[in-house]
Amino acid sequence: MLRIDATIAGLILVSALIHATWNAIVKSDTDRLMSFGLVMLVGAFMGLAALPFVDVPRAEAWPWLLGSVTIHVFYYVFLLRAYAHGDLSHVYPIARGLAPLLVAILAGRIAGEHLVARESIGLVLVSGGIVGLAFARGLPRQGEWRALIYAVLTGITIAGYSVVDGIGARLSGDPIGYIAWLNLLEGPWVFIVAAMRRRGATLVYLRHFWWRGATGGVIATVGYGIAIWALSLGAMAHVTALRETSALFGALIGAFILKESFGARRIAAAGVMVAGLLLMNLRLS
């Protein structure tokens, strides 16, 4: 199985923090659809700017690239619906917590990447700790079930595009080129939908809040670029488990910046998650 070294692991953790940050930017905006659309549009422009400096992906990578674009469209829909019904610190950990387990299953079946027993136990602890962050306040109340359902659907799409992009980047011949084309192809659609729905309000939003989407777009593009590059080099289950520590960052941002509750149970869940990461990634003699 492909392994990840300390440098790659550190970059993945940076990617996790970046991901939680741009999600917090979108969640805290009064117009999440427009904010999300601008985030993705900026990513498309960054991909377009990179094209002269990267290779076009090989032919065998294009089905995976186009498949990723399709999965990402569903991801955007489910994520925005989840944020419409739930807190960042509740929705985000559920979505991110499902992904490592699903990626491990898919990577084993599709890419032949199988975990040893210690790594499997660590993976279960990681996902359990992440989901524990979300359920620290108990089972969802009546009004929270919609958020839960959309969060689960979001987690499924996260696992899907993680495996698809991992394989596509490996087949592309140039992971950076794959990243550039992915950003270009997936970037404009949410903004187009937002502009059609908001009509005259689009220019007003851009005039006053362009900086939110621009900031989110830059960090989102850099963060997922790091993730795809890591997926092309390391075992997908390991990379995904490390990246989904973004759930802890998201919970902390929700608690301390967005003023959502945290508490001792979430601290305990975070400890379980860290223990799982240690089991997965420490080399034992």
pLDDT tens-digit series, residues 188-223: 988 998 899 888 788 888 888 888 878 888 988 998
Residue of higher predicted confidence among 107 and 226: 226
Alpha-helical runs (H) found in the chain: 6-28, 32-50, 62-85, 88-110, 117-134, 145-172, 175-186, 188-198, 201-233, 236-243, 246-256, 264-281
User: For 84-119, what is each residue's pLDDT tens digit?
Assistant: 887 776 777 777 777 777 887 887 777 777 777 887
Residue 128 reports pLDDT greater than 90: no
Q: What residue spans define the domains of the chain? A: 6-281
76-79: long-range contacts, CB 8 A cutoff, minimum separation 24: 76/36, 76/40, 76/190, 78/150, 78/153, 78/154, 78/157, 79/36, 79/150, 79/154
Residue 140: predicted pLDDT = 63
Is pLDDT of 257 > 70? Answer: yes
Q: What is the pTM of this model?
A: 0.80
